[in-house]
């Protein structure tokens, strides 16, 4: 093993990559966090940067040499930690607050040593177009899991990149900067899913930031039904958070201070939230 390479550790390569579709690459960190490299005729766009461990920039430049635009799905550090490999990023409104705050002191130290820890954050809003040259990505604001969440609609690739707002394992509704009453955040999520559904004929696949990638778009319907069931007080609640993704037990995950968590599910959709 060549341990001089910052992307190799005792387990081998820290990042995995595969071409999900022509000119569309999934970059996986640790098997649990997905970034997407979307390549157009003139530019490439990296959607999320994982925790920033190793040298993500070197890894990305091993795939494409096109000028790169870095965009975050939202302001959580498992999607923004690699930003300081570049001097500028784009993100949704409210992402900047907290996006440079690592999940541990060790990660913070690593972050501070990167080339651009004071990188610039450009805020993008609904309807913003990233023009990659023959391939345009449109920003759709979908805040619920986090205040700053955006999705990207890729009409040419017939895909939606959804960050943490739409995924197969579960969507966490208790990790926002400001916790909202459950029904309010569920209503917001439902409205967001209906916004995505309005583009039904323009995409086939959803690429989430965890627990994917590559979901059928019918997940959107499952999430809408789940929200309707919660709002009507008839959702299926899973005992002891039992489910099909990461189950954050209250003990030992740093979320104990929030109180008891609950998981509701319908079909492929599930939410985890603070029990009221
Ligand atoms: Zn998140």
d(C-alpha 77, C-alpha 66), whole Å: 26
Task: Please state the rounded mean pLDDT for residues 182-186.
Answer: 97
Task: Please state the rounded mean pLDDT for residues 22-39.
Answer: 94
CA–centroid distance, 53 to ligand 1, in Å, is: 17
CA–centroid distance, 245 to ligand 1, in Å, is: 15
Residue 274 has pLDDT above 90, yes or no: no
**3-state secondary structure (DSSP) of residue 63:** coil
Residue 103 has pLDDT above 70, yes or no: yes
Q: What is the pLDDT of residues 42-90, one digit of tens each?
A: 999 999 999 988 999 999 999 999 999 999 999 999 999 999 999 999 9
Give residue 2's pLDDT band: very low, low, confident or very high (50, 70, 90): low
List the one residue out of 31, 69, 53, 171 whose CA is nearest residue 102. Answer: 53
pLDDT value, residue 257: 65
- Scanning the structure block, which residue is given the tokens 């917001």? 188
CA–centroid distance, 76 to ligand 1, in Å, is: 5
CA–centroid distance, 78 to ligand 1, in Å, is: 7
Task: Please state the rounded mean pLDDT for residues 202-214.
Answer: 92
pLDDT value, residue 168: 87
Query: Are 47 and 82 within 8 A, CB to CB?
Result: no
Alpha carbon of residue 127 to chain centroid = 19
pLDDT value, residue 276: 83
CA–centroid distance, 55 to ligand 1, in Å, is: 22
Q: What is the pLDDT of residues 212-223, one digit of tens each?
A: 778 999 999 999
CA–centroid distance, 4 to ligand 1, in Å, is: 31
Domain boundaries, the chain: 8-168+188-233
pLDDT value, residue 246: 61
CATH number of 8-168+188-233, picked from 3.30.920.30, 2.170.8.10, 3.60.15.10, 3.40.50.1390: 3.60.15.10
CA–centroid distance, 110 to ligand 1, in Å, is: 20
CA–centroid distance, 162 to ligand 1, in Å, is: 11
């Amino acid at each position: 093993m060549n341990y001089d390479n910052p992307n190799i550790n005792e387990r081998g390569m820290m990042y995995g990559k595969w071409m999900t579709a022509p000119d569309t690459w999934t970059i996986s960190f640790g098997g649990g966090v997905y970034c997407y490299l979307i390549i157009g005729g003139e530019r490439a766009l990296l959607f999320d940067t994982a925790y920033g461990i190793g040298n993500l920039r070197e890894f990305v430049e091993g795939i494409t040499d096109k000028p790169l635009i870095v965009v975050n799905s939202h302001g959580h550090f498992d999607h923004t930690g690699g930003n300081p490999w570049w001097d500028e990023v784009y993100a949704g409104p409210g992402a900047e607050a907290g996006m440079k705050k690592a999940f541990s002191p060790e990660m913070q130290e690593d972050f501070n040593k990167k080339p651009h820890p004071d990188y610039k954050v450009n805020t993008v809003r609904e309807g913003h177009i990233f023009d990659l040259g023959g391939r345009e990505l449109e920003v759709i604001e979908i805040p619920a899991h986090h205040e700053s969440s955006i999705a990207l609609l890729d009409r040419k690739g017939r895909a939606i990149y959804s960050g943490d707002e739409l995924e197969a394992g579960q969507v966490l509704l208790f990790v926002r900067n400001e916790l909202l009453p459950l029904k309010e955040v569920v209503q917001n999520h439902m409205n967001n899913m209906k916004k995505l559904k309005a583009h039904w004929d323009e995409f086939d696949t959803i690429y989430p930031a965890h627990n994917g990638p590559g979901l059928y778009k019918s997940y959107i319907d499952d999430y809408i039904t789940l929200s309707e069931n919660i709002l009507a007080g008839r959702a299926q609640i899973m005992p002891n958070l039992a489910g099909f993704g990461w189950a954050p037990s209250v003990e030992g995950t740093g979320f104990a201070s929030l109180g008891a968590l609950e998981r509701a599910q319908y079909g492929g959709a599930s939410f985890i939230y603070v029990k009221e």
